[in-house]
Structures are given as structure tokens and as C-alpha cells.
């Protein structure tokens, strides 16, 4: 689907699973993530065999970050709808946590729609376990859409912003 | 109480140390130095002119207290990097337990060390990167060694200092050696034994385990029985509607 970012994020998720598998001396690990209607990631990682990735179409709805937040990336060359996760300019979340659009409450947001950003500029922060992870712009461009809300929860792989 | 001299404590191998007289904040300094560091580096400042806590909260730092930040490049995804919160809390707990009875210390999810139920320290982590690995991770630690900060309002847990609680007198530099050494041990433990062991250590010193606590997220208050922390480091509360795993919140009890 030519979506490098979500592909990369899926790959890093799978890599993290593989690491978990190894670290905990497990032989197999299966994770299913429902990102939205017709959009899920189903991963089974097992040792000494191979990694199997498949997308499926679950019935369950996802606990999306916000009502406006769209569905998330599928690993397989599936949907090509208007799903922003499939947008080539989508920046996806590398972790589960809480989104902050500014360094502190009341401060100017890192990114606003229409603003230009340079590669490496912080566009938002995702917090988990009192760790503030700065999400850098993967490339220079203009912020076209912001798909998350300040203070809202975010899932792994969720599209955060679209930069073109 | 006894007075110790500086620089009698061992310094962990493989770590660098920078001691500054004054800086805006050791977290800001760490971020500036991030592109250039060769090895994990502890940056300590005797005073900070613009110290800050989580989400920009004020952090008061009288001289004689510890202000330090560890900056390094772990080969870790952002989610793995965030687990360092527990390593830092364990290390700080162990460092403090050298200078005061461990009976007075407890941990509050994810990384607060409480002394006699009060806030003796603060830990804040920052990282940057889209993945798969973070570019850098910084762990900021502030400890009220000799002075209890004044003018702290609306604190959920009243500030307290090691000295006021009857602990041994220790200089910031000496305490940094202690905590740096304990932190290096935690990293070695993570590498050899995995996060489960780190989690077990943390849980064994946790306050209010099995009791009702409240986690305040950006959107809601979740109240439930403090069951555990899961393998991702999430706080697990048993609520009226079932278990909830919470990745980011402030905990109250």
C-alpha cells in the first residue's frame, strides 16, 4: 500500500514482540489488535519458525483515541480507503500512552495545522509511565491534519498527524 | 547523623559524569548534549535556575539537594525506554535506603519514591524518536537531601527531605554516586534477568498494593484495587467493571 510509515511502525511492533518472546523465553506469542472496523493487525510470532503477519476484518469496534480519530494501519496490502493511517504522510504512534500537543498546559502547541515543520522537529509528546517521548517529524513538510487530541489516549500504530 | 565527605563512593564503570555549578535545568542540558554524548552520562548541577517537573510543574531546588539527569542511548523502543521509570525508581529507593531505614520508604506508580508518605524525590523521563529505537533517553532525578522545598502549594504528597526525616547527611555529589551505581545495577539486571525481575523488585516495595487507589488520567479518575503492574509497566487496577491497565496517570491515595 506504499505506506512506509505505518509499515515501519508495524515492523517495529513486531520487532518488539520478537524481543519480548526472546526475553521471556517463550516459543509463541499471538497478538490481535482491533484498530477499527475492517482494520486490525493480527501477529503471531514464534521462535525457530517464522513470523506470520496477516490482516483480518474483525467485527469488534476499537477503543479509538477519540471519536474523530480514524482507524489504524493494517499490516497487509489491504484497504485503500480514505483511512488517514494509509496516507503516505501519516506519522503513527510508536507506543501506547497519552498525547500532549504542548510541552506543558497552556504553552503553545508544538504543531498546528498549516504550520511547516523541519525534519526532527518535535510535533507532539506521548507519555507512558512518566516518560515523555517526543515524536519528531520524520520529514520536512506542512502539517495537513492532526488526528489526535491533547490529553487523549493513543494506541500503538495510531495515526497522529499527516505531514505533506 | 554523620557528615560524609565527597567522592568516597564508587562510580559505575562505563558511565561519564559532568558536574556543573549552575544550569537552567539538567533535563534541558541533557537534551542539548544528546547528539554528542559517547557514553551514558550523568549531568549534575549544584543549582538549577529553571527546574521543572512533569507537565511543566514547578520543582523547587534549594542548594544541597540533588539535581541530576542521566542521558544515554538505550537500544530500546519508546515503550521499552519508558520501562526505565521502574529501574530509576528502584535505584533511587535503594540509594535512599542506604541513608535511612527502608521501612520509611515506599514506591508509588510509576516512579515516585515516598519517604514517610511524603514526596522526597521526583523522577522525570524524556525520550525522542519515532522508532524502532529511541534516539536518546534522559532520566532526571531530583532529591530533597538537605532541604525541604518551601512554597510548594497544592502538592498531593507533602514535600519532605531526607535530613528532616532523620536520615544521614549526604552531599549531592556523594548521593549521585550512590544512585548512579544503583542505576547501573538495575540496567545490568534488566539485561540479564529481564523486566519481570525489575517489576518484582518494584512491587515488593510498592505502597498500597491490594488497596484502593485512584489514577487520574487526562480524561478521568479511575478508582480500583491496586492489583499489579503488567509486563508493559501499566498500572493494573481492579475496578467495578473489571481490570484496567493504565499507561499514563497520576496516582492518589
Q: Are B248 and A127 an interchain contact pair (Cβ–Cβ within 8 Å)? A: yes
Model confidence over B166-190: pLDDT tens digits? 999 999 999 999 999 999 999 999 9
Say which residue the cell 542506604 belongs to.
B98
Q: What percent of chain B has pLDDT over 70?
A: 96
Task: Tell me what the pLDDT averaged over chain B comes to.
Answer: 92
Cβ-proximal residues to B236 (8 Å cutoff; 6+ apart), any chain:
B226, B227, B228, B229, B230, B243, B244, B245, B246
CA distance B179 to chain A (A): 19
> Do A94 and B218 count as a contact with CB atoms less than 8 A apart?
no
Q: What is the domain-level CATH number for residue A136? A: 2.40.50.100
**How far apart, in whole angstroms, are the C-alpha atoms of residue B6 and residue A32?**
54
Within this chain, do residues A53 and A106 fall inside the same structural domain, yes or no?
no
Mind listing the domains of chain B with CATH numbers? Answer: 16-203 (3.30.930.10), 212-252 (2.30.30)
pLDDT at A67 over 50: no
Q: Which of A99-108, B121-130, B228-237 reaches the highest mean pLDDT?
A: B228-237
Instruction: Return the higher-pLDDT residue of B71 and A56.
Output: B71
Residue A85 lies in a domain: yes
For residue A72, which of A122, A5, A152 has the smallest C-alpha distance?
A5
B77 CB neighbours in chain A (<8 A) are 12, 15-16, 94-95
Regarding whether A16 and A57 lie in a shared domain, the answer is yes
Please indicate, yes or no, if residue A140 is contained in any of the structural domains. Answer: yes
The answer to whether residue A70 sits within a structural domain is: no
Q: Which of A9, A30, A65 is the C-terminal boundary of a domain?
A: A65
Q: Which of A34, A65, A96 is the last residue of a domain?
A: A65
Residues A34, A96 within the same domain: no
- Of B4, B2, B17, nearest in space to B176 by CA: B17
**Residue B207: which pLDDT band, with cuts at 50, 70 and 90?**
very high
- The verdict on A55 and A129 lying in the same domain is no
Cβ A126–B127 below 8 Å, yes or no?
no
For range B127-150, the mean pLDDT: 92
A86/A133 same-domain check: yes
pLDDT digits (tens, 9 = 90+) for B240-252: 999 999 999 999 9
Which of B41-55, B76-90, B151-165 ranks highest by mean pLDDT? B76-90
Note whether residue A40 is domain-resident: yes
Could you tell me the CA-to-CA distances from A104 to A125, A163, B31, B57 in Å, in that order? Answer: 10, 23, 17, 8
* Segment 122-161 of chain B within 8 Å of chain A by CB: 123-132, 134-135, 137
The average pLDDT across B44-69 equals 85
| Assigned domain for A9 exists | yes
Q: What is the DSSP letter of A85?
A: G
- A73 lies in some domain: no
| Residue A13 belongs to domain spanning | 1-65
Q: Do A105 and A54 sit in the same domain of this protein? A: no
The set of residues, in sequence order, having a beta carbon less than 8 Å from that of A7 and lying 6+ positions away, is A1, A73, A75
State whether A87 and A51 are in the same domain. no
A92 in the same domain as A52: no
In terms of domains, do A92 and A153 share one? yes
Give the domain-ending residue among A40, A65, A90: A65
Tally of domains in chain A: 2
Q: Is residue A53 in a domain?
A: yes
Q: In this structure, is residue A72 part of a structural domain?
A: no
B232·A96 Cβ contact <8 A: yes
pLDDT tens string B88-115 = 999 999 999 999 999 999 999 999 999 9
HEC sequence for chain B = CCCCCCCCCCCCCCCEEEEEEEECCHHHHHHHHHHHCCCCEEEEEEEECCCECHHHCECCCCECEEEEEEEECCCCCHHHHHCHHHHHHHHHHHHHHHHCCHHHEEEECCCEEEECCEECEEEEEEEECCCCCCCEEEEEEEECCCCCCCCCCCCCCCECCCCCCCCCCCCHHHHHHHHHHHHHHHHHHHHHHCHHHHHHHHHHCECCCCCEEEEECCCCEEEEEEEEECCCCCEEEEECCEEEEECCCEEEC
Condensed to tens digits (0 to 9), the pLDDT of residues B7-20 reads 567 899 999 999 99
Same domain, A47 and A93: no
- Same structural domain for residues A60 and A85? no
Residues A50 and A111 in one domain: no
Amino acid at each position: 500500500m506504499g505506506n512506509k510509515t505505518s509499515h515501519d511502525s508495524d515492523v517495529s511492533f513486531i520487532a518488539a514482540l520478537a524481543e519480548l518472546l526472546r526475553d521471556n523465553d517463550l516459543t509463541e506469542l499471538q497478538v490481535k489488535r482491533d484498530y477499527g472496523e475492517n482494520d486490525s493487525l493480527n501477529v503471531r510470532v514464534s521462535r525457530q519458525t517464522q513470523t506470520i503477519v496477516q490482516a483480518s476484518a474483525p467485527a469488534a469496534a476499537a477503543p479509538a483515541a477519540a471519536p474523530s480519530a480514524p482507524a489504524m494501519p493494517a499490516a497487509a496490502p489491504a484497504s485503500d480507503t480514505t483511512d488517514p493511517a494509509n496516507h503516505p504522510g501519516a506519522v503513527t504512534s510508536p507506543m501506547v500512552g497519552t498525547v500532549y500537543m504542548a510541552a506543558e498546559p497552556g504553552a503553545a502547541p508544538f504543531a498546528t495545522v498549516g504550520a511547516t515543520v523541519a525534519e526532527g522537529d518535535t510535533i507532539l509528546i506521548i507519555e507512558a509511565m512518566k516518560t515523555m517521548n517526543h515524536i519528531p517529524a520524520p520529514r520536512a513538510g506542512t502539517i495537513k491534519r492532526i488526528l489526535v487530541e491533547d490529553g487523549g489516549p493513543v494506541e500503538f500504530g495510531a495515526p497522529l498527524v499527516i505531514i505533506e | 547523623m554523620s557528615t560524609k565527605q565527597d567522592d568516597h563512593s564508587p562510580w559505575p564503570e562505563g558511565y561519564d559524569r559532568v558536574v556543573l555549578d549552575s544550569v537552567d535545568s539538567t533535563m534541558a542540558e541533557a537534551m542539548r548534549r544528546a547528539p554528542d554524548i559517547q557514553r551514558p552520562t550523568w549531568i549534575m548541577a549544584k543549582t538549577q535556575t529553571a527546574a521543572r517537573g512533569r507537565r511543566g510543574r514547578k520543582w523547587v531546588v534549594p542548594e544541597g539537594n540533588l539535581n541530576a539527569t542521566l542521558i544515554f542511548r538505550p537500544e530500546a523502543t519508546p515503550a521499552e525506554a519508558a520501562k526505565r521509570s521502574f529501574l530509576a525508581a528502584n535505584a533511587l529507593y535503594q540509594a535512599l535506603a542506604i541513608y535511612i531505614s527502608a521501612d520509611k520508604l515506599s514506591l508509588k506508580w510509576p516512579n515516585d519514591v515516598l519517604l514517610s508518605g511524603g514526596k522526597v524525590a521526583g523522577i522525570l523521563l524524556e525520550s525522542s524518536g519515532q522508532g524502532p529505537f529511541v534516539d536518546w533517553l534522559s532520566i532526571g532525578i531530583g532529591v530533597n537531601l538537605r532541604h525541604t522545598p518551601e512554597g510548594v502549594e497544592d502538592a498531593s504528597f507533602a514535600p519532605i527531605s531526607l535530613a528532616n526525616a532523620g536520615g544521614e547527611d549526604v552531599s549531592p555529589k556523594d548521593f549521585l554516586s550512590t544512585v548512579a551505581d544503583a542505576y547501573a545495577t538495575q540496567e545490568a539486571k534488566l539485561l540479564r534477568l529481564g523486566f519481570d525481575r525489575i517489576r518484582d523488585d518494584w512491587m515488593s516495595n510498592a505502597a498500597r498494593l491490594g488497596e484502593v487507589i485512584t489514577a487520574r488520567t487526562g480524561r478521568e479518575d479511575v478508582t480500583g484495587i491496586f492489583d499489579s503492574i503488567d509486563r508493559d509497566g501499566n498500572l493494573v487496577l481492579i475496578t467495578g467493571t473489571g481490570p484496567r491497565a493504565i499507561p499514563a496517570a497520576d496516582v492518589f491515595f
